[in-house]
Amino acid sequence: MWTPYDPAALDVTNKMAPPWTDGHLLGTDQLGRDVVAQLMAGALNSLLVAVLSTAGAVVLGVALGLTAAGGGRFWSDTLTRATDVAIALPGILVALVLATFFGPSNTTAIVAIVVWFVPGAARIVIGPARQVLAREFVEAAMAYGRSRSFVLFRHVLPNLGPLIIVMASMMFAGAILTEAALSYLGLGAQRPTPSWGRLLFESQSVIGQAPSLVVFPGVCIMLAVLGFNLLGDGLRSRLDPRHAREVVV
């Protein structure tokens, strides 16, 4: 409905048309599919995967980080060491294992990105959460008889809001790049669903004949990742008072 052509429609008589040919703004690929339509549909797919994987990683990572920061010494040390070990695992290897068991798909890419990002999110949250737990108003709430879980979600979590927002924006950029990499390796979206990474993979065989087919999805990935990284930097400058003072000075 919102693309100029059906992204999956084939027109072999008009394949590999250059830009600005017969109403195709960026031309067609090796099977005659409109490049603009595929880029637009690929953007929707990449954003969907990035939103779901980032949301899952943030929720699970923050919950794990709060548990590690507010638990007893045994649980805190165990979860902290577990996140360190998980961070050392290569995410591509995790994706390959998942694809072997469940097959390549968007679901596999989402699960792989979540598994990859959760340990890092938890590790980011643990330190600041412990700092908040050491503050006087938290000790007063504990002395008042509040449970530790209530203190974590009522007092600690709101104070981590700016950190979580910045972390989520940075993870969103990483999720877009990771989804493109997984799709390029054949572990993400499969045809007929377009994906920026899949477009790169399919275009590499004709790069000598039509280099624009590689350039356009690459530029889309670069701009999306750059945009969300800049958004994360802007949010950090706006929401973190210490960083804001440093910038002013």
Judge whether residue 56 has pLDDT over 90. yes
CA 103 to chain centre: 20
Judge whether residue 111 has pLDDT over 80. yes
Tell me the average pLDDT across 36-53: 90
Quickly state the pLDDT bin for 245 (edges 50, 70, 90).
Answer: very low
Rounded Cα distance between 35 and 56, Å, is 31
Model pLDDT for residues 150-163, shown as the tens digit of each residue:
778 777 888 888 88
Domain ranges, ordered by start, for the chain: 21-248
Res 226: pLDDT: 92
- How would DSSP label each residue in 51-115? HHHHHHHHHHHHHHHHHHHHS-HHHHHHHHHHHHHHHHS-HHHHHHHHHHHH-SSHHHHHHHHHH
Indicate the CATH number for domain 21-248: 1.10.3720.10
Tell me the average pLDDT across 67-77: 76
Res 247: pLDDT: 34
pLDDT above 70 as % of the chain: 94
Tell me the average pLDDT across 124-132: 85
Judge whether residue 234 has pLDDT over 80. yes
